[in-house]
A and B are shown apart, each in its own frame.
Chain A
């Protein structure tokens, strides 16, 4: 990094990190019960607490590690675990693509680190920021939720057995409730966004319930639904970069 860049950057680093951290606080708190629920299920199934904790520390993803944990409990072969978890995680490619457009010009090593923070919620909050993203802001935005995720897992893995099953069932919905809270406000403001959301929901229902389509693995079904809905909207309601940034503000 050049000297000028350092001089320009250093006073703002901490400030931007904290800005990101504060911005991500609802997700930080929201992740605690979600990872708690994951840990309760996984330890109840028979994984030792330290294995469950290691999964959260190294994966930091909800659906993928839940599926992977289940497979581990059945003693599934490693290739099966790898393919299943990968298919569930393909959506991150789409998010990572969108995010790359807000990180042009960022040093590669920063991207290699920050990529670990690409979760559904963090990605979404990051995309609501106008213009190019600061690496420090994104780091702060990811650090809090990561801490919440690991903490929730630890608590769930250690205390989960003492918990009534009714509570862990209720916690299962927390993640989805967060998704809804994230997607509703922009859908209320912009009709094309609402269409994109609803069309994707419709397609995902088809993949769930239509004979034939039901056979498509859920990871692929998700990608196909999202790609089709976004492509349709992109053709019907093209967006200009300037317009997009104005709207995101």
Chain B
């Protein structure tokens, strides 16, 4: 297959398989769920998804696990201190950068 055509097709495939899971439940579930179990299940879902997405994946998000641990600790600390999304992301990124820079000095 021609290279450009391959890229275009791949991008299209990715777009479709990204849209499907986003749109299906949203457009098909038109009513409020009655079951208390399901209501509760959906209530806890966001936190569970985010938790499982973050850890342990965060440990492998940078060049070395050491800098990742440092960035993770910084993010955790600042979040518990009540800081907003953006400062947490910035300080955590800065921490990773600093730790990796220090590691290169040795």
A-to-B contact residues, CB < 8 Å: 26-27, 29-30, 33, 47-48, 51, 54-55, 58-61, 63-65, 68, 71-72, 75, 78, 81-83, 85-86, 89-101, 103-105, 108, 111-112, 114-116, 118, 120-121, 123-124, 127, 165-167, 169-188, 192-193, 196-201, 203-205, 208-209, 221-222, 225-227, 229-231, 233-235, 237-241, 244
Contact = CB atoms under 8 A, between A and B. Distances in A.
B97 to A, nearest CB: 4
Given A55-B14, A170-B93, A238-B37, A89 B76 contact: no
A173 B25 contact: no
Interface in B31-87: 31-33, 36-58, 61-63, 67-68, 71-72, 74-76, 78-80, 82-86
Secondary structure at the B interface, as helix, strand, loop or mixed, is helix
A169 B90 CA distance: 13
Contact of A169 (B11, B62, B78): B62
B26 A204 contact: no
A223 B13 CA distance: 22
A101 B42 CA distance: 9
Contacts of A68: 10, 14
How many B residues touch the partner, as a band? 35 or more
Given A120-B49, A180-B76, A193-B47, A85 B18 contact: yes
B12 to A, nearest CB: 8
Secondary structure at the A interface, as helix, strand, loop or mixed, is helix
29 contacts: A26-B86, A30-B85, A58-B14, A59-B15, A64-B14, A82-B16, A85-B17, A86-B21, A91-B53, A98-B45, A98-B46, A100-B25, A115-B19, A118-B26, A167-B97, A172-B62, A176-B61, A180-B54, A180-B75, A181-B84, A183-B47, A183-B51, A196-B51, A226-B49, A227-B48, A229-B52, A233-B48, A238-B39, A240-B36
Given A181-B75, A197-B47, A171 B93 contact: yes
Contacts of B72: 173, 176, 180
Contact of B94 (A114, A127, A170): A170
